[in-house]
Amino acid sequence: MVSKGLKWKISLIVFSILLAVVYLLPNFVDTSGKWWAPKHKIKYGLDIQGGLHLVMGVDVNGVIHEKLERAGETIKQDVTKENIALTGYKVQKLNDIEQLTLNFASAADLPKAAEIVKKNFYYMQETERTDTSVTYKLLDSYVFETKKATIEQAIETIRNRIDEFGVSEPSITAQGDNRILVQLPGLQEATKAKDLINRTARLDFMIVSEKFPIDEIQKWVSDAEKAGNYSIKDMKYSDYAKRINEDLKGKLPDQSKILFQKSENTDKMETGKIPYLLETNAGLGGDAIKDAFVTTGEYNEPEVALHFSADGARRFGDLTGANVNRSMAIVLDDVVYSAPNIKQKIGGGQARITLGSGRDYNGILSEAKMISMALRAGALPAKLEQLEERTVGPSLGADSIHKGQIGAIVGALLVCVFMLFWYKLFGLIANFAIMLNILFLYAVLSALEATLTLPGIAGIALTIGMAVDANVIINERIRDELKRGVTMFVAIKEGYAKAFSAIFDSNVTTAATSIILMYFGTGPVRGFAVTLLIGIVMTMFCNVFITHVIFDVLAGKFKIKKLAL
């Protein structure tokens, strides 16, 4: 009989194996459309498949300067409405901090102006005051969030550019607090890619046409796809949208076109799109917006606040006033990001986009951040400077894969043969545990959408070596116990107990080193550390826990007294 304790351990092992297989499926078969299957899979780094490596410096300090310049212009408008004479403002670096100085004609105007600034600019802090001037700086917390948002906006804009370029699985990540790492697997055209990254996005406000119902517009799109034998899955979005509008030219009203919004519950446009018939004569674009950010409404629900330039405020007021109770689409690079309803004329140079309050708060907040980011992404939020460029040829990547495969296969075979020769059945069990170790390791990498590089493969190889070492220690301890004349059950129990401390100590010290490498390292070093750290956890699970369970079953249920040790 197998004890209850042993039964749940066996159940845990079986469940873990099945879960690992499920998470590995996307790497071998297409799991899209299957609700039960994960969609994530392992990505391969440039050193494996070749491509372009760029490090871009982001001028975040320039953004802070621009924030203060915009604030100065807005304050000038606000105080002028209150008949306060602002003679001028200046943004300059004082004590290594960008600060805004406002100069007034009369000392009597300062208190009233300070109240206006305090009310409308919560993120500014007064640092100095004279008889006719007052100086402000941005709050430290606001500066931190602004720099963070600048990096995120730049990443989002670059990602939009790269997605348009058609690169498969690009890696675009923040590196420190003022750099962006761009890795484009399989891409060799450096000049074209750099031009694309630095290209300005186009933002437009368009009124949604009410001449035709959405069902009819969807039918137009479907019929055009069937007639032309094409779909968005096989084309770049810009080419698809252009083709649709060309094919439907006879049906579309003058000064209108069809553009698409990604469905709320989908990750990509090709898996779910919503068509909009839009009027193209609004004449209002991203140049009208000064700033857009997430704020909260009357009931603490997330909203998007917009600040327009003076000319933009006038044009936006005219547009909204002429289209009350209609929907206005916010379009970035011909992609509809939102289509809120206009409830009344919006004047004063400021506006809010409400997103409702009946849905999940985090979902609304995420949508608000995306919309505000899209509005700010009419142009790159900060100047980019290329700091580093490397191109890895595909032949080098293919050669690396080939040599890595040969090395891994030969190494694994030698290890398996040695374990079988030296420990017989115990060696077979150890080999089984090592195979599970690799299976679980790749499943975790797949679940995390990790990028596998050559240093990462080196980390996997080291993991296998450590797993073999753990099994050698365990088997030798069991062999020592059997020589003392104890039963197989006792030998297994004592062997694992005496081997555990040595295995645990060595793995803990290695894990500590891996964590340090992850924290301080970048790029390849971090990839090595990640795979090694995951491998250590899997080694403890597979080569200590699972093998112990297998030995207990063999010794307990099958009463095996000798395993050819």
Max distance between CA atoms of the chain, in angstroms, equals 101
Angle at 273 between CA 297 and CA 216, to 5 degrees: 105
What's the gap between Cα 250 and its chain centre?
A: 41
Single-letter residue type at 81: K
What is the mean pLDDT for each group of 10 consecutive residues in the chain (565 residues)? Answer: 75 92 85 74 74 83 82 82 85 86 87 85 88 90 87 79 62 84 71 63 80 90 91 84 90 89 74 88 72 78 80 82 88 79 80 62 72 60 74 61 72 83 84 90 86 80 85 88 84 89 89 88 77 90 89 74 55
| pLDDT score recorded for residue 338 | 78
Q: Residue 138 in contact with residue 67, Cβ under 8 Å?
A: yes
Angle at 170 between CA 166 and CA 175, to 5 degrees: 145
> What pTM value is reported for the model?
0.53
Sequence spans of domains, the chain: 4-49+394-556, 51-198+380-392, 202-376
Instruction: Give the tokens for residue 228.
Output: 């032309």
Radius of gyration of the chain (CA): 31
Closest CA to 565 of 471, 464, 469: 471
Fold entry, domain 51-198+380-392: Alpha-Beta Plaits (3.30.70)
Does the CA dihedral 324-241-231-236 come out positive or negative? Answer: negative
Dist. CA 40–CA 448, nearest whole Å: 7
| CATH number, domain 202-376 | 3.30.1360
DSSP 12-77: HHHHHHHHHHHHHGGGTS--TT-TTS-----EE-HHHH-EEEEEEEE-HHHHHHHHHHHHHHHHHH
DSSP 134-145: EEEEE-HHHHHH
Q: Is 170 helix (H, G, I), strand (E, B) or coil?
A: coil
| pLDDT score recorded for residue 16 | 92
| pLDDT score recorded for residue 157 | 75
Tokens 């004592």 locate to: 494
Dihedrals phi, psi of 139, to nearest 5 degrees? -60, 145
Tokens 């090592």 locate to: 434
Return the number of other C-beta atoms located less than 10 Å from residue 180's C-beta.
21
How many CA atoms lie less than 13 Å away from 37 in the CB half-sphere? 15
Q: If 0-12 CB within 10 Å is exposed, 13-18 middle and 19+ buried, where does residue 163 land?
A: middle
| pLDDT score recorded for residue 158 | 79
Return the number of other C-beta atoms located less than 10 Å from residue 408's C-beta.
15
| CATH number, domain 4-49+394-556 | 1.20.1640.10
How far apart are the two ends of the chain, measured CA to CA in Å?
25
